[in-house]
Amino acid sequence: MKKIAILNGPNLDRLGKREPEIYGRATLADLEASLRTEFPNGVELEFFQSNHEGALIDRIASLADRKFDGVVINGGAFTHTSVALRDALLGAHLPTIEVHISNIYKREEFRHTSLTAPACIAVITGLGLEGYFAAVRFLLKR
């Protein structure tokens, strides 16, 4: 059985409440339930969300130590600011897909640069929550 982690960074615990015109009305709990329904067999999904950079870095190290098969990460604002998160992803040596709910290239210019993308095998942006499903599907086929 493959083990895939879904990591979410700052403010993603506010899905459904924060800027629903951009991020939609589904909550993070809704997303987790939908992913479990979509992938009931053959994969162990582990979910983690934190508003704290260090907690995400600690979790990435833990995933590497526990020999996870892949990571889906929405680093939120840390995507654009965190060299430490990038280094953690590189050091983990886990196939990682970066996901963004909105199309970051249609938003403010500072969102156009991802510091973490070079540590990932792919980036999915602008597909809404479907990006998470696409990322898990891809990791399962690897």
Q: What is the pLDDT of residues 52-65, one digit of tens each?
A: 999 999 999 999 99
Give the domain CATH number at 39.
Answer: 3.40.50.9100
Residue 4 has which token pair?
Answer: 């895939």
Total domains in the chain come to: 1
Angle between helices 28-38 and 130-141 (to 10 degrees): 40
CA angle 28, 64, 52 (to 5 degrees): 45
Task: Tell me the catalytic residues.
Answer: 23, 100
Q: What is the pLDDT of residues 98-138, one digit of tens each?
A: 999 999 888 878 788 999 999 999 999 999 999 999 999 99
Supply the range of the domain harboring residue 107: 2-141
Contact assessment for residue 115 and residue 79, using Cβ atoms and an 8 Å cutoff: yes
